[in-house]
């Protein structure tokens, strides 16, 4: 097959049908939803100082099971990981003008969460091997106004959490793990999402396990747990009740970030499948990585000692040549029926929100409070920009519905291109 004419030049493509899509919803989830429907209680949160302030049966079961699975003290369900990030920033006590160090290479909410309470996102660069925040870059961006770090365990792999937590301890900072893409990953035998002061998980429909929309926030600290619960459910309605009122009521205006009983019931069944789904992804990636050893122009993921990778995506680095840059390589792959995107998301500081520094209203708040010398412009995070614009290729075809033949088609397509260009 490798000697065959490239589809780019009127040859026969390796693949003429789409890859299978992921679907991990089964009879267990259907039965769980029916159970909730027959009870007739679709949500049981009450915005008042009663026991129902903490939600209904399915919600509490999910939170208990989540804590047991991930070996953490507290788990708080929310209606999305974005809401979880907002709640965590509020619980961290961020004030207007406080600086929050964030990643430029992640879903936007991992950075914009700082803005919700008037914080200023400060972008540190990423590590070129893990794609997670570089501890060295974090340290360079700390000022007297820095109050927190939002570290993203990107693509299914932990950041250098020991070093980041050491930095946080040195400078008295709160660390929030965005663990949306790494549920079940390990770092020094501890689950990611439970290592920092708070850890946010996603149950969005594109994640390894899902309930359509939803999220969880984990913490081993009572004070953060209490504030997360308050922010989730209209805190202002109960903070005059002695049993619910903390000593510090800042950032407790309250929102509605509540998960429904149906979503919680689905998530409970999905949690049972997490280990198996992660194992299948790891097996698929291991198979591809072994095959890709034949191609020196592809670098497979680096997994540091002490970490495990659960592969939300299979992140590859492409080393181009004079005859075939990344754009040309991906075009040739697409012609063979294998569509892979180059890069992940545009560096966040290049989005209009940061370029124009407009968030709430048109006065520039909270950017008007910005004192950091950092300017949101191209060149700010050179490693991120190199990865995005030149090197990174994202393979999502690694999920539980991928068969060996599907994986082999990816390899065959690359092999054809390698024969003609390398």
Output the CA torsion sign for 379, 380, 381, 384: negative
Q: 62-116, pLDDT tens digit by residue?
A: 999 999 999 999 999 999 999 999 999 999 999 999 999 999 999 999 999 999 9
Q: Give the chain's mean pLDDT.
A: 96
Q: What is the dihedral angle through the alpha carbons of 251, 232, 211, 157, rounded to the nearest 10 degrees? A: 40
Which H or E element spans position 84? helix 81-91
Q: How would residue 422 be classed by pLDDT, with cut points 50, 70 and 90?
A: confident
Output the CA torsion sign for 359, 360, 362, 367: negative
Q: Is 307 exposed, middle or buried (0-12, 13-18, 19+ CB in 10 A)?
A: buried
What CATH number has the domain spanning 7-24+274-344+385-421? Answer: 3.90.1150.10
Give buried/exposed letters for 188-226 (b at 16+ CB in 10 A, else e). Answer: eeebbbbbbbbbbbbbbeebbbbbebbbbbbbbeeebbb
φ, ψ dihedrals at 148, nearest 5°: -155, 165
φ, ψ dihedrals at 226, nearest 5°: -60, -45
CA distances from 189 to 70, 74, 286, 307 (A): 11, 19, 21, 8
Q: Are 231 and 87 in contact (CB under 8 A)?
A: yes
Domain boundaries in the chain? 7-24+274-344+385-421, 27-270
* Residue 355: other Cβ atoms inside 10 A: 11
The pLDDT of residue 140 is above 70: yes
pTM value is: 0.96
Taking each helix axis as running N to C, give the angle between helix 222-232 and helix 81-91, from 0 to 180 degrees, rounded to the nearest 10.
Answer: 120
Instruction: Supply 47's token pair.
Output: 């915005």
Relative to beta strand 392-395, strand 120-123 is unpaired
Identify whether 366 is preceded by a cis peptide bond (ω within 30 of 0): yes
142-151, 196-205, 236-245: range with lowest mean pLDDT: 236-245
Q: Write down the pLDDT at residue 298.
A: 97
Q: 218-236, pLDDT tens digit by residue?
A: 999 999 999 999 999 999 9
Q: What is the mean pLDDT of residues 246-251?
A: 92
Question: Where would I find the beta strands (DSSP E) of 66-127?
Answer: 74-78, 99-102, 120-123
Q: How would residue 1 be classed by pLDDT, with cut points 50, 70 and 90?
A: low
* Residue 11: other Cβ atoms inside 10 A: 14
Which H or E element spans position 292? helix 261-292
CA–CA dist 371, 144 (Å, integer) = 11
The label of the residue with tokens 């407009």 reads 358
CA–CA dist 371, 99 (Å, integer) = 9
Q: Are 208 and 312 in contact (CB under 8 A)?
A: yes
Give buried/exposed letters for 359-374 (b at 16+ CB in 10 A, else e). Answer: beeeeeebbebbeeeb
Q: 141-156, pLDDT tens digit by residue?
A: 999 999 999 999 999 9
Question: Where would I find the beta strands (DSSP E) of 323-405?
Answer: 392-395
* Residue 90: other Cβ atoms inside 10 A: 24
Q: Write down the pLDDT at residue 202.
A: 98
Relative to beta strand 186-187, strand 190-191 is antiparallel
Q: Write down the pLDDT at residue 320.
A: 83
Q: 311-352, pLDDT tens digit by residue?
A: 999 999 999 888 899 999 999 999 999 999 999 999 999 999
Q: How would residue 299 be classed by pLDDT, with cut points 50, 70 and 90?
A: very high
Cα 106–Cα 385–Cα 115 angle in degrees, nearest 5: 40
Q: How would residue 185 be classed by pLDDT, with cut points 50, 70 and 90?
A: very high
Q: What is the dihedral angle through the alpha carbons of 383, 388, 390, 394, rounded to the nearest 10 degrees? A: 120
The label of the residue with tokens 């390698």 reads 418
Q: How would residue 242 be classed by pLDDT, with cut points 50, 70 and 90?
A: confident
Instruction: Supply 145's token pair.
Output: 């106004």
* CA 171 to mean position of chain CA atoms: 25
Q: What is the dihedral angle through the alpha carbons of 375, 378, 381, 383, rounded to the nearest 10 degrees? A: -170
The label of the residue with tokens 């997490």 reads 274
CA–CA dist 94, 117 (Å, integer) = 6
The pLDDT of residue 59 is above 90: yes
The pLDDT of residue 34 is above 60: yes
Q: What CATH number matches the domain at 27-270, 1.20.1740.10, 3.40.640.10, 3.20.20.70, 3.30.365.10? A: 3.40.640.10
Strand, helix or coil for residue 237: helix
């Amino acid at each position: 097959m490798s000697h065959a004419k490239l589809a780019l030049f009127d040859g026969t493509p390796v693949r003429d049908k789409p890859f299978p899509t992921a679907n991990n919803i089964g009879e267990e989830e259907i039965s769980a939803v029916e159970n909730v429907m027959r009870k007739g209680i679709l949500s049981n949160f009450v915005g008042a100082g009663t026991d129902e302030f903490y939600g209904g049966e399915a919600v509490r079961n999910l939170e208990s099971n989540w804590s047991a699975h991930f070996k953490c003290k507290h788990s708080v369900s929310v209606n999305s990981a974005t809401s979880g990030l907002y709640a965590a920033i509020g619980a961290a006590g961020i004030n207007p003008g406080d600086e929050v160090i964030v990643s430029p290479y992640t879903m936007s909410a991992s950075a914009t969460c700082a803005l919700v309470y008037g914080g200023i996102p400060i972008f540190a660069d990423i590590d070129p091997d893990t794609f997670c925040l570089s501890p060295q870059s974090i340290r360079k961006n700390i000022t007297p106004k820095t109050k927190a770090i939002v570290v993203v365990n990107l693509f299914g792999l932990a950041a250098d959490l020991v070093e980041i937590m050491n930095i946080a301890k040195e400078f008295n900072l709160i660390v929030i793990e965005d663990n949306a893409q790494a549920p079940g990953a390990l770092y020094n035998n501890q689950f990611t999402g439970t290592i920092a002061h708070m850890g946010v998980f996603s149950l969005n429909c594109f994640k390894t396990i899902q309930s359509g929309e939803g999220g969880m926030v984990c913490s081993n600290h009572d004070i953060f747990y209490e504030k997360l619960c308050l922010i989730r459910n209209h805190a202002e309605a109960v903070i005059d009740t002695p049993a619910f009122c903390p000593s510090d009521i800042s950032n407790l205006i309250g929102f509605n970030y509540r998960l429904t009983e149906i979503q919680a019931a689905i998530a409970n069944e999905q949690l049972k499948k997490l280990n198996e789904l992660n194992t299948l992804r790891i097996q698929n990636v291991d198979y591809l990585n072994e095959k890709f050893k034949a191609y020196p122009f592809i670098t497979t993921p680096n997994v540091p000692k002490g970490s495990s990778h659960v592969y939300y995506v299979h992140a590859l680095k492409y080393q181009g040549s004079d005859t075939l840059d990344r754009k040309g390589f991906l075009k040739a792959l697409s012609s063979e029926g294998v569509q892979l995107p180059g890069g992940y998301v545009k560096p966040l500081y290049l989005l209009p929100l940061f370029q124009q520094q407009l968030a709430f209203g048109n006065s520039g708040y909270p950017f008007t409070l910005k004192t950091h010398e950092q300017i949101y412009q191209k060149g700010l995070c050179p490693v991120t920009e190199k990865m995005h614009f030149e090197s990174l290729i994202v393979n999502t075809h690694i999920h539980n519905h991928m068969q060996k033949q599907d994986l082999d088609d990816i390899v065959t397509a690359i092999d054809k291109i390698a024969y003609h260009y390398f």
